[in-house]
Amino acid sequence: MSGDTTELTTEEEFYRRLDTLIGEAVENDLTIEGGWACRSMDGQYEYEALISAVDRSNS
C-alpha cells in the first residue's frame, strides 16, 4: 500500500489507508467488488470485508 509502514492505531488512519488502497485499485483497473474472509492466523478474529460500487449518477 504505497509503502505505508506507520503503525495503525486510529480508526481515522484505518479509513485513510482503506480509501487509498481502493483508490489505487480503481486507478489500476482492478476488479475489487466482492467479499473476502479476513482471519487472523491464530484464530482470534474473523471478519468479512465487502466492497460494492455506489452509483451516484442519479444524485
Give Rg (Cα) of the chain: 14
Tens of pLDDT, residue by residue over 5-57, are 789 999 999 999 999 999 999 999 999 999 999 999 999 999 999 999 999 99
Q: At 11, list the grid cell.
A: 480508526
CA gap 15, 38 in Å, rounded: 17
Q: What is the pTM of this model?
A: 0.73
- Alpha-helix runs per DSSP H in the chain: 11-27
Q: At 3, list the grid cell.
A: 509503502
